[in-house]
Amino acid sequence: MQTHSKIHRLLLTGAAGHLGAVLRDRLQPFADVLRVSDIACMEPASSAAQEVVICDLADKAAVHALVQGCDAIVHMGGVSVEKPFEEVLEANVKGIYHVYEAARCHGVRRVVFASSNHVTGFYKQTEKLDAGVQRRPDGYYGLSKSFGEDLAMFYFDRYGIETVSIRIGTSCAEPANRRMLSTWLSYDDLLQLIVRALFTPGVGHTVVYGASANRDVWWDNHEAARLGYVPKDSSEPWRSVVEAQPALEAGDPMLVYQGGFYTAQGPFEASR
């Protein structure tokens, strides 16, 4: 993948997480300096072109120091699965506010935000959605990502910071179940989508879905096409293996809702 320019200093948050670790070296060619951060320990810098910073997104001062000197942000950091509200609040709600406020203070003009398909998780799998539908989050995690999209819009309208919010489906090495046959996003397609989001001019606040060219689609992704995103991969090579798995019972959330089992998790405080 080629671009006509590089970002001088690009910040990747959540670099110790699953997708952050996948993206770390893949994003390096698109920046003179790649600054990577996480609350967890990370591998040391692989070259002089990488900077490694431990940072708690819930710590406002630490986030401001992290963002200073950066020209764009790929924000993958935060809790990435359904958790009790208090856990989600710190990294995903306070954390993204700190990221955008630091971006405002330090002159960052472009953010790529890892949103999630779970902001629309309570839609049925029989429905086809575009990015403009009313959001129906399927849990605290989905609620936090919905908040993040609103925050991104606010910071564009108020301060002109442009964002592409990517409602990531399921990005992993290969699809593991029937739901993933529709939601799967290959690592190569994820990288392509992020790079398009970083370099396409005039995005304002654009919301897109993150999925590969799968056969059975739940999402009308014409907004991603406006970025020039053309997915190269598909879940089809794994269809026969996945469909050989034992059938799920009728009414199983994995068969009914786009958010799958996230729609049935919690309440986490019930046993207290």
What residue segments make up the domains of the chain, in order of their start? 7-264
Question: What pLDDT shows up at residue 133?
Answer: 98
Question: What pLDDT shows up at residue 3?
Answer: 47
Q: Hey, what CATH class is 7-264 in?
A: alpha beta
Question: What pLDDT shows up at residue 270?
Answer: 58
Choice among 97, 123, 140, 141 that is catalytic: 141
262 is catalytic: no
Residues of the chain with pLDDT under 70: 1-4, 270-272
Cis peptide bond N-terminal to 137, omega within 30? no
Question: What pLDDT shows up at residue 4?
Answer: 52
Phi, psi of 260 (to 5 degrees): 60, -140
Burial class (CB in 10 A: 0-12, 13-18, 19+), 87: middle
